[in-house]
Amino acid sequence: MTRVSSVLVVDDEPGIRAALQANFARRGWDVETASGVRDATEALERRVFHLVVSDVRMADGDGLAVMRSARQLAPGTAVILLTAFGSVPDAVSAMRSGAFDYMTKPISFEQLEERAERVMRQSSLAIPEDGEQAGKFPGTTAGVLHSNETAGNIVGQSPALLRAVERARAASTTDADVLVEAESGTGKELLARFIHDSSDRSRKPFVAINCAAVPEHLLESELFGHARGAFTGALNARAGKFELANGGTLLLDEIGEMPLHLQPKLLRALQEREFERLGETRSTKVDIRVIATTNVMLGEMVEQGKFRSDLYYRLNVIPLALPPLRERAGDIPLLARYFAEKYAAKARRTPPELSPAFLDRLACHNWPGNVRELGNFMRRVLSLHPGAVLDESCFDQEFQVRGSAGFDAAASGSRSADAGHATGSAGPGVGMPAAGLPIRQVERVHLEHTLAMTHGNRTQAAEMLGISVRTMRNRIRDYGLPPRRYE
């Protein structure tokens, strides 16, 4: 993707036009405005835009004319239409004519930004910095890899990654269920969104549920919904994720944490594409594509009796895998530069130069948290080192701080006299506790350290540690850590 995404805002109301321009510019977009169809056509003749956001009804024509001009001059440009006269016929007409999305006024800019990012993923245009149209967007060798955010494209050139993407692209042409098995932080949800966005279901909902993050006694209701009065506290009927995803894609994240007693009901819902809400006897049919992800090997769980074999085979129609970052080290510079540009844009500053020594340090690190860990590290470095160049001293300083902070905290707060022992080092920035400390103490310190790294995000910390969120909650309780700190 280009360094700065470009957008043409078309509206005959100066106030709305100025507000949209300011909001897009504040988020790092290259913005041009037009006051009507004629101005918009002239702008489209001068240059190619990634995105056009246009009002539908204007004094000299309508947004459909703007969209037709965009289609003729730059077929891959994404178009979002806005109108104060929202109606189903207008929406259907716009979508059939080729609009990527349709919103009614008054709009929330946050929602518009979210939809803009989504339609950019679905569009077919990538514009390099010289402004000429090029290639397909999103591509398999250039793009963006997000973690726990609004999903983007996939970046990388390693053969293993490209094979995974091409296999995912092939899977998107079918309705078969998909199982993605890969380490935490490698981009499993990103790949799931890529499948959805590349499929015929892309205009329908993409609904995700983390099976480990929902308390076990509420998981069935979250999946299938419940009727009013189905259980204590169920004051109103509620649709579940299966129902909300109707027509689109349902992502079952961390499927390995699905309780055994719920697996038969899930199996039936997958086989029949129908289910009953809690407290109801009538069945509800849905048309969905299911993608399940896991950071554990479900085949091994089946052998251990921790996962039903019939459910495993039902999910594993199309198996996919993503390589860990250590197996695609050649992609680290691409990812580092992407994260540098991304977080610099958010901070409204020029992206720093990454020195060869800095990139060497990145390439030599093992990155057990994979792309997520790399992204978090780059965000920290850019936040704390605002200079024009990131060099090896920036890397060394941040890893030294990260490697020692957790154990220093443990030394001051532990009940054991041994907690004050010095730490050793197993390489640049890798803090290690002194030999002889109790295992329980080491685990507690490592847990605190990881939670501090993720700013208390338990889901992210659990993924980095390779455990479930439920296990994370139990550890926080068992070690007497303050639970509210990690909410």
Cβ atoms of 33 and 10 within 8 Å: the answer is: yes
For the CA atoms of 99, 101, 105, 107, the dihedral, rounded to the nearest 10 degrees, stands at: -140
CATH of the domain at 234: 3.40.50.300
Residue 11 covered by a domain: yes
pLDDT tens-digit profile of 189-228? 989 999 998 888 988 999 999 998 888 888 998 999 888 8
Q: How confident is the model at residue 2 (pLDDT cuts 50, 70, 90)?
A: very low
Total Cβ atoms within 10 A of residue 412:
8
With 90 as the cut, is the pLDDT of residue 264 above it?
yes
* Percent of the chain scoring above 90 in pLDDT: 30
User: Range of 363's domain?
Assistant: 329-486
Beta pairing partners, 178? 291, 318
Residue 148 covered by a domain: no
Cβ atoms of 163 and 277 within 8 Å: the answer is: no
The reply to whether 304 and 356 lie within a common domain is no
Domain boundary residue among 305, 321, 337?
A: 321
Distance from C-alpha of 440 to C-alpha of 420, rounded to nearest angstrom: 16
Residue 152 covered by a domain: no
Domain boundary residue among 269, 300, 321?
A: 321
pLDDT of 101 reads: 66
pLDDT of 258 reads: 92
Residue 112 covered by a domain: yes
Q: What is the pTM of this model?
A: 0.57
The reply to whether 377 and 228 lie within a common domain is no
Please count the residues of the chain.
487
Tell the residue number behind the tokens 């921790």, with chain if given.
306
Q: How confident is the model at residue 4 (pLDDT cuts 50, 70, 90)?
A: low
Residue 66 covered by a domain: yes
With 60 as the cut, is the pLDDT of residue 410 above it?
no
Residue 151 covered by a domain: no
pLDDT of 353 reads: 92
pLDDT of 227 reads: 83
The reply to whether 315 and 335 lie within a common domain is no
Q: How confident is the model at residue 124 (pLDDT cuts 50, 70, 90)?
A: very low
The reply to whether 355 and 281 lie within a common domain is no
For residues 280-288, give the mean pLDDT. 89
Terminus-to-terminus CA distance in the chain, angstroms?
A: 35
Residue 143 covered by a domain: no
Q: Which residue has the higher pLDDT, 293 or 86?
A: 293
The torsion angles phi and psi of 377, rounded to 5 degrees, stand at: -65, -45
For residues 137-165, give the mean pLDDT. 55
Residues of the chain by 3-state class (helix, strand, coil), percent to 5: 50, 15, 40
Distance from C-alpha of 293 to C-alpha of 445, rounded to nearest angstrom: 29
Q: Which residue has the higher pLDDT, 354 or 131?
A: 354
Residue 337 covered by a domain: yes
Q: How confident is the model at residue 461 (pLDDT cuts 50, 70, 90)?
A: confident
For residues 415-438, give the mean pLDDT. 42
With 70 as the cut, is the pLDDT of residue 430 above it?
no
* Percent of the chain scoring above 70 in pLDDT: 77
The reply to whether 194 and 312 lie within a common domain is yes
Q: Mean pLDDT in the chain?
A: 78
pLDDT of 486 reads: 45
Give, to the nearest 10 degrees, the angle between helix 14-26 and helix 109-122: 70
Q: How many domains does the chain have?
A: 3
Q: Which residue has the higher pLDDT, 25 or 251?
A: 251
For residues 289-300, give the mean pLDDT. 93
